[in-house]
Amino acid sequence: MAKITFIEHNGTHHEVEAKAGFSLMETAVNNGVPGIDADCGGQCSCATCHVIVNTEWYNRLKSPQSEMEASMLEMNPEVTETSRLSCQIEVDASLDGLVVQLPEFQG
């Protein structure tokens, strides 16, 4: 298990236990984290699970950003250099301590 912290745009922290093999999006939804709508159910066909990964963690993510994910993020008004779709990040023990921010429009 890994502890993941989701921070809402208003500063509210949600520290949750994440099971290996699940996506970061599934972890958020399963733990009732507000702001992760996951309208497409994790199919990388929307951007309602957008997260901004803490800079120190971004390069440590094992799953690189695909072209499909990049194109979904391009339509997002709050995309940053460390933006990812949480449905495309698989949880494993190496993510213990990961911190992600939720953009304002998802609040």
Q: What is the CATH number of the domain that holds 29?
A: 3.10.20.30
Please report how many Cα atoms fall inside a 13 Å half-sphere around the Cα of residue 63, on the Cβ side. Answer: 19
Segments forming the whole domain that contains residue 96: 2-106
* Structural domain count, the chain: 1
What gap in Å lies between CA 62 and CA 14, rounded to an integer? Answer: 23
Q: At 97, list the tokens.
A: 């301590």
Output the average pLDDT for the chain. Answer: 93
Question: pTM value?
Answer: 0.93
pLDDT digits (tens, 9 = 90+) for 15-64: 999 999 999 999 999 999 999 999 888 999 989 999 999 988 999 999 88
